[in-house]
Amino acid sequence: MKHRLPVMGEFRTMAEAGGLTGYGADQAAMWRHSALYVDKILKGANAGDLPVEQPSKFELVINLKTARAIDFSVPPTLLVAADEVIE
C-alpha cells in the first residue's frame, strides 16, 4: 500500500487479505475432489496408479477497496468477468 503497487495472488485469499486480485484454482473444489482420491486409496487403489488431474474450476476475485486505495482503475470488462468483487 505504501508504494501503491497492485498485487495479485494465486488464490482468493490474497484478495480477501487486501491484495488487488486473486486468480487461481478454486481451493474448496480441489479439497472436495481430493476426497474422491482418499476414498479410492482407502478402498485399496494404488496411489501411483491414480491419474494426475488438473483443476477444472478457477475463480477471479477483485478487491475494489484496494483498487480505490492505490488509485488503480479496474476495467469494467474485468469486473464483469470476476466471480466475486469485494466492495
17: which DSSP letter? T
Q: Are 64 and 75 in contact (CB under 8 A)?
A: no
Q: What pTM did the predictor assign?
A: 0.78
Calpha distance 68→26 (Å, rounded): 26
Q: What is the DSSP string of 19-61?
A: -SEEEEE-HHHHHHHHHHHHHHHHTT--GGGSPP-----EEEE
In terms of C-beta density within 10 A (0-12 exposed, 13-18 middle, 19 or more buried), how is residue 7 classed? Answer: middle
C-alpha cell read off for 31: 479439497
pLDDT along the chain (87 residues), means of 10: 86 92 92 92 94 91 95 94 95
